[in-house]
Structure 1
Amino acid sequence: MDQPASRRGSAVWALIITGVASFMAALDNLVVTTALPAIRDDLGGGLEELEWTVNAYTLSFAVLLMLGAALGDRFGRRRMFILGIGLFTAASAAAALAPGVGGLIAARAVQGAGAALLMPLSLTLLSAATPPARRGAIFGVWGAIQGLAVAMGPLIGGAVTEHISWQWIFWLNIPLGIALIPLSRARLLESRGPNGRLDVLGTVLASLGLLGIVLSLVRGNAQGWGSPQILLGFTAGAALLVGFVLYERRAPQPMLPLRLFRSRTFSAVNAASLLMSLGMFGAIFLLAQFLQLVQGYTPMQAGLRMLPWTAVPMLVAPLAGILSDRFGGRVIVATGLSLMTVGLGWFALITEPDVSYAAQVPALVISGTGMAMFFAPVASLVMGSVRSEEQGMASGANNALREIGGTLGVAVLALVFASYGGYGAPDHFVDGLVPALWVGTAALALSAIAALLVPRVRRAGGAGAATAPAEDQAADRAADVAPVTEGKAAPMAQR
Structure 2
Amino acid sequence: MASLSSTQRLVVSIAVLASFVTFLDGTVVNVALPAISEELGGGISTQQWVVDAYLITLSALILLAGSLSDAYGRVLIMRIGLIAFGVASVAVAAAPDPLVLIIARAAQGAAGALLVPSSLALITATMRGPVQAHAIGVWTAFTTAAQLVGPLMGGLFVDFLTWRLVFLINVLPIAVNLFLLGRLRLPEHPRGAKVDWFSGILCAAGLGALVFALIEQPRLGWSSPAIWLPLVGGITMLAGFLLRQARVPHPLMPLDMFRVRNFGWGNLATLFIYAALSLNGFVVVVYLQQGAGLGATEAGLASLPITILMILLSSRAGAWAGKYGPRIFMTVGPILMGLGALLLLTVGIEFNYWWQVLPSMLVMGLGLSITVAPLTAAILGSIDESRSGIASAVNNAVSRVAGLLVVAMISTIVGGMLDLAGFHSAAIVTAVLMIAGGLVSWIGIRRNPVEADAAEVGA
Matched, 1:124 2:114: no
Q: Cα offset for 1:225? A: 4.4
Is the contact made by 2:206 and 2:237 (CA closer than 8 Å) also made in structure 1?
Answer: yes
User: What is aligned with 1:269?
Assistant: 266
> Who wins on radius of gyration, i.e. which is larger?
1
TM-score, normalised via structure 2 length: 0.91
Matched, 1:314 2:307: no
Q: Cα offset for 1:33? A: 2.5
Is the contact made by 2:217 and 2:227 (CA closer than 8 Å) also made in structure 1?
Answer: yes
User: What is aligned with 2:455?
Assistant: 463
User: What is aligned with 1:326?
Assistant: 323
User: What is aligned with 2:403?
Assistant: 406
2:441 corresponds to which letter in structure 1? A
The 3-state SS of whatever aligns with 1:332 is helix
Correspondence 1:414-493 to 2 at 5 A: 414-418=411-415, 422=417, 429-457=419-447, 460-461=452-453, 463=455
Matched, 1:95 2:85: no
Match of 2:42 among 43, 46, 57: 46
Match of 2:337 among 335, 340, 347: 340
User: What is aligned with 1:352?
Assistant: 348
CA distance in 2, matches of 1:49, 1:461: 51
TM-score, normalised via structure 1 length: 0.85
CA distance in 1, matches of 2:198, 2:233: 16
Deviations 1:295-343 (A, max 9, x none): 3211101222322222211111111011011101121121111111111
Return 27-36 or 377-386, whichever deviates more: 27-36
Is the contact made by 1:193 and 1:392 (CA closer than 8 Å) also made in structure 2?
Answer: no
Q: Cα offset for 1:17? A: 1.3
CA distance in 2, matches of 1:444, 1:13: 34
Q: Cα offset for 1:394? A: 1.2
2:350 corresponds to which letter in structure 1? D
User: What is aligned with 2:284?
Assistant: 287
CA distance in 2, matches of 1:355, 1:52: 29
1:435 corresponds to which letter in structure 2? S
Q: Cα offset for 1:438? A: 1.0
Q: Cα offset for 1:49? A: 4.2
Q: RMSD of the alignment, in Å?
A: 2.4
CA distance in 1, matches of 2:456, 2:179: 34
User: What is aligned with 2:148?
Assistant: 151
2:429 corresponds to which letter in structure 1? V
Q: Cα offset for 1:50? A: 4.6
Is the contact made by 1:274 and 1:402 (CA closer than 8 Å) also made in structure 2?
Answer: yes
Greater RCO, 1 or 2 (C-alpha within 8 Å, sep 6+) = 2
Q: Cα offset for 1:193? A: 6.0
Query: Unpaired segments of 5 or more residues in structure 2?
Result: none
Q: Cα offset for 1:188? A: 5.6
Change beyond 3 A, Cα 1:294–1:126: same
CA distance in 2, matches of 1:53, 1:276: 22
CA distance in 2, matches of 1:160, 1:253: 45
Change beyond 3 A, Cα 1:377–1:220: farther
User: What is aligned with 2:105?
Assistant: 108
The 3-state SS of whatever aligns with 1:342 is helix
Deviations 1:402-460 (A, max 9, x none): 111112222334312126xx35xxxxx22222122112211111111111133432675
Change beyond 3 A, Cα 1:192–1:392: farther
Query: Unpaired segments of 5 or more residues in structure 1?
Result: 1-5, 424-428, 467-495
CA distance in 2, matches of 1:255, 1:355: 48
The 3-state SS of whatever aligns with 1:197 is coil
Is the contact made by 1:218 and 1:407 (CA closer than 8 Å) also made in structure 2?
Answer: no
CA distance in 2, matches of 1:24, 1:309: 19
2:433 corresponds to which letter in structure 1? A
Q: Cα offset for 1:64? A: 1.1
Change beyond 3 A, Cα 1:118–1:223: farther
CA distance in 2, matches of 1:101, 1:206: 25
Deviations 1:130-166 (A, max 9, x none): 3433111111111122321222222111111212222
Change beyond 3 A, Cα 1:81–1:460: closer
User: What is aligned with 1:209?
Assistant: 206
2:431 corresponds to which letter in structure 1? T
Is the contact made by 1:65 and 1:397 (CA closer than 8 Å) also made in structure 2?
Answer: yes
Is the contact made by 1:94 and 1:107 (CA closer than 8 Å) also made in structure 2?
Answer: yes
CA distance in 1, matches of 2:382, 2:224: 41
Is the contact made by 1:280 and 1:409 (CA closer than 8 Å) also made in structure 2?
Answer: no
The 3-state SS of whatever aligns with 2:455 is coil
Return 65-74 or 403-412, whichever deviates more: 403-412
Q: Cα offset for 1:195? A: 6.2
User: What is aligned with 2:70?
Assistant: 73
The 3-state SS of whatever aligns with 1:353 is coil
Return 284-293 or 183-192, whichever deviates more: 183-192
Deviations 1:61-91 (A, max 9, x none): 1121111111112222211111111100111
CA distance in 1, matches of 2:30, 2:161: 16
Change beyond 3 A, Cα 1:291–1:211: closer
Change beyond 3 A, Cα 1:116–1:258: same
Is the contact made by 1:413 and 1:440 (CA closer than 8 Å) also made in structure 2?
Answer: no
User: What is aligned with 2:178?
Assistant: 181
1:153 corresponds to which letter in structure 2? G
Change beyond 3 A, Cα 1:373–1:245: same
Deviations 1:217-251 (A, max 9, x none): 34444443453233222322222232233222232
Is the contact made by 1:10 and 1:129 (CA closer than 8 Å) also made in structure 2?
Answer: no
